[in-house]
Structure 1
C-alpha cells in the first residue's frame, strides 16, 4: 500500500508533531523524572531510566518524518523500563507498593509511535510493529504480576493489565491503518479522476484535430485543382483554411491549459471563458463541411431547452460522424444530419449513401460512445443499406 503524504506544506505537519511531543513532555515527563530520581534505585539504573524517558519523548517529535526509526528507538526505551527494577520512594509510598517503571506515564508515548509507523510506513513494517507491541504486552503483564498497590486479587489485576495494554496497542495500530487506508483510497480517487480527465481531453483533442484536418485537407486538395482555372477563388479557400486552423488552435490551447502548471494560467483562462459549442452551432458546422466539398442535408427541429453537456455531446457526434463521412464514404457521397426531439429524448442521426464499407471501430467511434454514455444516452453505429449510419439518443 502506498502511503500518501498529508495535504499542505510538509513543515506544517512537522511543527504539529513537535508541538505534540512538547505537550506530552510537559504533562508526562515531570512525573516520570521525579519518580526515577527519588526512586531509590542504583545510579546506573537511574541514568538508564532518565535516558529512556528522554528518548521516548524525543522520538515522538521525529515520528512523522522517521516513523520506523522512531518506533525502534521507542521500543528499546520501553524495554529499559520493563527490565529496570521496581521504583521506591515517595511515589511508591503513595501507590502502596513499589512498582515497575513501565507504569510511568511516559510509557503512553509508545502508542503514539505505534500509530505513526502503522499510518506512515509501508508493509511489512506496520505488521512487524504490531507483533512487537503484542509481545511487549505479554512481557509487561508478566513484569507487573507482583504489583500489590491496587488491592485487587491477582487474577483481577492480570485481567485489567492485559486488557488495557492489549486494547491500547490494537487501537493505536488500527487507527494508523485506518489513516493509511483512507489516504490510499483518496489517492485512488484522485488517480481515477485524473484518468477520466485524460480520457476526456483525448476525446476532445481527437474531435478537434480530426475534424479540422479533414476540412483543411479538403480545401487544400480543392485549391490545388481550382487555383489554376479560377484564381479568384484562392483567397476564399485560404481564408477557410486559416479560419479552421485558428479555431482548432483556440480549442487545443484551452484543452492543453487544463494539463499545464502555473505557466499556463492564460491557457486555463481561455479554457474557462471560451464558450463550448452546442446545438446552436450545428448549422455552422454543417456549412463548414459543405464548404469543404461534402454534400450535407440538414434536418433540424427546435428541441427546446437542452442541457449544455447534451448540446456539446450532440455537436461532437455530428462533427465526428461528418468527419468520418468525408474520410470513408467516398467521392460524391451525400450525408444527412437529423437533429430532432423524440418524446423526452434528443435524437441525433447522421447517415450517408457512400460505399458502405465495414469501418473498424476506431478512437472516434469509441469517443462518441463514451460521450453519449456519459450523459445517459445510447449510440448505434453501423451499415445502413448502401451507406453508414450513426444514431445517438440522449435524455433531455
Structure 2
C-alpha cells in the first residue's frame, strides 16, 4: 500500500515515461533469447506499438488505434521472435477504459473484438487475446469507478464538514444572543433597582433612617447578585462547555420578587418538574417584567403570579401603573420576553391589565423535558 501511495505521488509525466520504458523492455525481451540474425526492421513495429504510450493521457483513443495498427506490421516485416503479449496495446486499452467517454469505449469494444478475430490464427489464440483485452478493459473501468466513488465520498465529507461548521456557527450565534439577553436582563434589573433605592435613600435618611438602611442593603444585595450572575455569564463565554447549573432558576424567584418593594408573589397549582432552560427562561422573564415595572410603569403595586397547569407553567406579572401607551408595540425588553418564551415552545402576550389600569405580561411555558435525578 505504501508503494502504491508513493507511485501516486509521482508526476504523471514521469509515470508515463517509466511505464513506456517497462513496456519497451518487455517487448524487446524476446529478442535476447532469439536468433541474432533477425532483421533490424522488426524493431520498428515494436517501437511504434510502444512509444505512443507516452501520450496515452492526452490522446488515449488515438494512442490505442496507433498501437493496434502497428502490431500487424510485426508479422509483415518478417518472421521475428514470438511476442506473447503486446503490452503497449493493453496499457492503451486500460487508459481508454479509465478516462475516455462512453462513445469511445463502445468503439473500442467493437474494433478490438473484430481486430483480434482478424489477427488470430486459431480459436485458442482469439480466446486468449480477447480474455487479455477484457481483463485490461475491466481493470480500467474498476479504477475509473473507484476514483469516482472516492471523489464522491470526498465531496460528501467536505459537504458534511461545511454543514457541521455552519451548524456550529449558528449554535454559537444563538448562544451569543442568549448570553446578550441574559446580560441585558441582569444589568437592567440590577441598575433599575439600585437607582430607585438610591433616589429614595436621601429622603428616608431624614425621615425614616431604618428604611434608608434597608434601601442601602437592597442596593448592595442587587449589586452582589448582578456581579455574581455576570461572572457566571462571562464564565460561559470563556468555557463554552461549562455547566449552566449556576444560572438562577425557579427557587430564586422569591428572592428576585422580594428585592422589588412594591411586588408580591402568588403561586397556585401543583408544581411540575421543568427543564433547566424553561426554569431559566421563567426567571429571566419575571426579572425583565419587574425591571419594566420599576423603570417605566410608575406602579404602586405589582403582582407576580405562577400558575401551574397540567403540562405548563403560566407566569403573569401585573402592575397598577400607567399601562401601555397609545400604539405601544413593545421595546427591547418585551421583545426579549417573547423570544425567550418562543425558544422554549411557549408564547407571550402583553397589554392592558384586566382591571383596566396598569400593564400585564402573560407567558405560558411548556414543561419541556425535565432532568430526572438519579
TM-score, normalised relative to structure 2: 0.65
Higher gyration radius (CA): 2
Structure 2 contact 56–63 (Cα < 8 Å) conserved? no
Partner of 2:154: 176
- RMSD between superposed Cα atoms in Å: 3.7
Cα pair distance change 1:79/1:93, threshold 3 Å: closer
- Residue 323 of structure 1 and its aligned partner are, at CA, apart by 0.9
Q: Confirm whether residue 279 of structure 1 aligns to residue 247 of structure 2.
A: no
Partner of 1:317: 285
Structure 1 contact 141–162 (Cα < 8 Å) conserved? no
- Unaligned 5+ segments in structure 1 are 1-22, 30-52, 59-73, 105-134, 262-267
Partner of 2:121: none
Match of residue 300, structure 1, among 267, 290, 302: 267
Partner of 1:238: 216
Match of residue 357, structure 2, among 377, 383, 386: 386
Structure 2 contact 268–306 (Cα < 8 Å) conserved? yes
CA distance in structure 1 between the aligned counterparts of 2:57 and 2:287, rounded to whole angstroms: 69
CA distance in structure 2 between the aligned counterparts of 1:137 and 1:381, rounded to whole angstroms: 73
Cα pair distance change 1:214/1:91, threshold 3 Å: farther
Q: Confirm whether residue 210 of structure 1 aligns to residue 174 of structure 2.
A: no
CA distance in structure 2 between the aligned counterparts of 1:212 and 1:249, rounded to whole angstroms: 9
Structure 2 contact 301–319 (Cα < 8 Å) conserved? yes
Cα pair distance change 1:299/1:236, threshold 3 Å: closer
CA distance in structure 1 between the aligned counterparts of 2:52 and 2:187, rounded to whole angstroms: 71
Structure 1 contact 339–346 (Cα < 8 Å) conserved? yes
CA distance in structure 2 between the aligned counterparts of 1:28 and 1:247, rounded to whole angstroms: 63
Partner of 1:395: 366
Cα pair distance change 1:337/1:92, threshold 3 Å: farther
Partner of 2:318: 351
CA distance in structure 2 between the aligned counterparts of 1:101 and 1:173, rounded to whole angstroms: 31
SS of the equivalent of 1:289 reads coil
CA distance in structure 2 between the aligned counterparts of 1:170 and 1:318, rounded to whole angstroms: 59
Match of residue 373, structure 1, among 332, 336, 342: 342
| CA distances 1:70-109 after superposition (whole Å, capped 9, x unpaired) | xxxx355467679x67822248869xx98769989xxxxx
Match of residue 25, structure 2, among 66, 85, 89: 89
Cα pair distance change 1:90/1:138, threshold 3 Å: closer
SS of the equivalent of 2:206 reads coil
Output aligned runs, 1:1-396, within 5 Å. Answer: 23-24=1-2, 26-27=3-4, 57=9, 74-75=11-12, 77=14, 87-90=23-26, 139-145=59-65, 146=67, 148-149=86-87, 154-155=111-112, 163-164=141-142, 166-260=144-238, 272=243, 275-290=246-261, 295-307=262-274, 308-330=276-298, 332-358=299-325, 359-384=328-353, 385-396=356-367
Structure 1 contact 210–323 (Cα < 8 Å) conserved? yes
| CA distances 1:322-373 after superposition (whole Å, capped 9, x unpaired) | 111111112x432121111233221111122211133443332222222212
- Residue 394 of structure 1 and its aligned partner are, at CA, apart by 1.7
TM-score, normalised relative to structure 1: 0.62
- Residue 189 of structure 1 and its aligned partner are, at CA, apart by 0.9
SS of the equivalent of 1:276 reads coil
CA distance in structure 2 between the aligned counterparts of 1:57 and 1:323, rounded to whole angstroms: 67
